[in-house]
Structure 1
């Protein structure tokens, strides 16, 4: 068989893209992007060397606090008006690690994501689905998300380190 690629689209109903960041270095705030899209093009069943890509709409950021979400959308953080999406495009995937380019606020950096392939199954409607967990860490300042403040006690309000966690299910097309 030639290297025919199979396309798998993200099943947004069964997927989530989350991030976690320390607040005042004592607690963790979790947020998510509610609107996102993506796909994989793979030529084999284990998805190795497949091409993964996704994008998330910055306006869909949700941390369960409207004021904080509006602050995140502002130019002090994501600058949603001029940079409506964040994007990721894989460069390599060996089955455990994915390396790719993450673009946030117009800045592209290479990131590494630990990857767990959870397998493939056929749902009750006859659709073939594949599940993945991705996890990685970025420094938000690398992407120009530099806002911060310091408490009276000298604690930084928002950590520079941001953990990215994506649980994605893909549907074979």
Structure 2
């Protein structure tokens, strides 16, 4: 049986991250350019043989141009050398009809680490144009320092400016390819 290919519907998907700033508020950022490709044996994503997510770091947007420029610099992502974030999923572990854990390897700034994220499966529907679509909400947390994103500053009172924990959130809609 031929593999079923699924591709991201970028108009109905988003990838964001959240990080504490000064430990009192949260800054949200987005990757505006990203891709998701999945291959399965059936409409059951536990049969996935390939799961690939990439994000163009130069598309980062935190609604602040000065901060975005800093995030692209060598202090953080160093986009001149490491322009892409990559996640290669190696196991979609179903925990019920609508819950799963996705295990894989995340590469940021040349460092690859195993990461597990929580997945809420929204289901599969056929849209008004006859396309079969699958929906997912993905949540996870990583330590930015584990990926070499170590820049920080300290306030006069001794508080750190940027927290280590990064919350990852994504709404992903996949389209079954003909």
The TM-score normalised by the length of structure 2 is: 0.94
Matched, 1:97 2:98: no
Task: Report the counterpart of residue 6 of structure 1 in structure 2.
Answer: 4
Deviation at 1:49, TM superposition (A): 3.7
Structure 2 unpaired stretches of 5+: 95-99
Q: Secondary structure at the match of 2:151?
A: coil
Moved beyond 4 Å, runs of 4+: none
Task: Report the counterpart of residue 139 of structure 1 in structure 2.
Answer: 143
Instruction: Kindly tell me the number of residue pairs found equivalent between the two proteins.
Output: 171
Matched, 1:86 2:90: no
Task: Report the counterpart of residue 97 of structure 2 in structure 1.
Answer: none
Q: How does 1:7-22 map to 2 (within 5 A)?
A: 7-22=5-20
Deviation at 1:5, TM superposition (A): 1.5
Task: Report the counterpart of residue 129 of structure 1 in structure 2.
Answer: 133
Structure 1 unpaired stretches of 5+: none
Task: Report the counterpart of residue 173 of structure 2 in structure 1.
Answer: 169
Cα distance in 2, alignment partners of residues 5 and 15 from structure 1: 23
Task: Report the counterpart of residue 32 of structure 1 in structure 2.
Answer: 30
Cα distance in 1, alignment partners of residues 37 and 80 from structure 2: 25
The TM-score normalised by the length of structure 1 is: 0.97
Deviation at 1:69, TM superposition (A): 0.3
Q: For the Cα contact (< 8 Å) 1:102–1:109, is it kept in 2?
A: yes
1:11-31 superposed Cα distances (whole Å, 9 cap, x missing partner): 111000100000011000000
- Which of 46-55 and 130-139 deviates more? 46-55
Q: Secondary structure at the match of 1:145?
A: coil
Deviation at 1:116, TM superposition (A): 0.8
Deviation at 1:88, TM superposition (A): 0.5
Deviation at 1:141, TM superposition (A): 0.4
Task: Report the counterpart of residue 41 of structure 2 in structure 1.
Answer: 43
CA RMSD of aligned residues (A): 0.8
Cα distance in 1, alignment partners of residues 44 and 18 from structure 2: 29
Matched, 1:110 2:108: no
1:62-104 superposed Cα distances (whole Å, 9 cap, x missing partner): 0000000000000000000101100001011112101000000
Q: Secondary structure at the match of 2:166?
A: strand
